[in-house]
Chains A and B, each alone.
Chain A
Amino acid sequence: KNEVEQSPQNLTAQEGEFITINCSYSVGISALHWLQQHPGGGIVSLFMLSSGKKKHGRLIATINIQEKHSSLHITASHPRDSAVYICAATKGNQFYFGTGTSLTVIP
């Protein structure tokens, strides 16, 4: 069983839709990261959360420590948001990754 589970695995949305990607983890963590990987392969860090909520532009990330659950929301989605979104949990000095959510936003 993976320490970190993401859902859905694949997601297709129309431009402008509100998108939610979920991440559940079984380990006790010190931080939860959301990463973005574009088709070219490069990985960029979007958020690092240890509690509460963070917002960057149209992206919002939340975490509920008691429920061991985090969500990534994209408001007013755009085709350039098409990418794989990966959550990663930090436990001690190690990282545990979900298998990613592949998002396609159609114009």
Chain B
Amino acid sequence: EAQVTQNPRYLITVTGKKLTVTCSQNMNHEYMSWYRQDPGLGLRQIYYSMNVEVTDKGDVPEGYKVSRKEKRNFPLILESPSPNQTSLYFCASSLWDPRNTGELFFGEGSRLTVL
């Protein structure tokens, strides 16, 4: 079954404690991306990757890191989480073409609370 898998789905942590949210897709997609969703602000893109070892910042990259060492995995790293990073996070993937018109496939979301 084609899917994007995120872990953990729910996490409560404390300020400053490093954490990683994993994302894996089994569709051999080139494009992967991370978003956060906040009430009233909608979805905002954090980072994206067009292929292995190719990553770039989205609209709200501050406080986050990513890596793309393998095509299927795109982890999101919060080196020193702060309460303003409390949010619902989504990973998504798609086939990539020069006009970026591929359909997006989303993971189920990870709800993160930073105390």
Interface residues of A (CB under 8 A from B): 30-31, 33, 35, 41-45, 48, 50, 86, 88, 90, 92-100
Interface residues of B (CB under 8 A from A): 31, 33, 35, 40-45, 48, 50, 56, 58-59, 88, 90, 92, 99-106, 108-109, 111
**9 pairs from A and B in contact (CB 8 Å cutoff):** A31-B99, A33-B103, A43-B92, A45-B106, A48-B101, A50-B99, A90-B101, A93-B48, A97-B42
Measured between beta carbons, the chain A residues less than 8 angstroms from B33 are 95
Q: Known contacts A41-B88, A43-B90, A86-B42; is A93 also within 8 Å of B104 by CB?
A: no
Measured between beta carbons, the chain B residues less than 8 angstroms from A93 are 31, 48, 50, 56, 100
Measured between beta carbons, the chain B residues less than 8 angstroms from A50 are 99, 101
Q: In the bound complex, how far is the Cα of B92 from the Cα of A35, in angstroms?
A: 12
A-B contact count (CB 8 A): 66
Q: Which residue of A lies closest to B105 (CB)?
A: A45
Which of the residues A48, A88, A92 comes within 8 Å of B43, measured between beta carbons? Answer: A88
Least distance between A41 CB and chain B CB atoms (Å): 5
Q: Known contacts A98-B42, A100-B42; is A45 also within 8 Å of B108 by CB?
A: no
A99 touches B103 (CB 8 A): no
Measured between beta carbons, the chain A residues less than 8 angstroms from B108 are 41-42
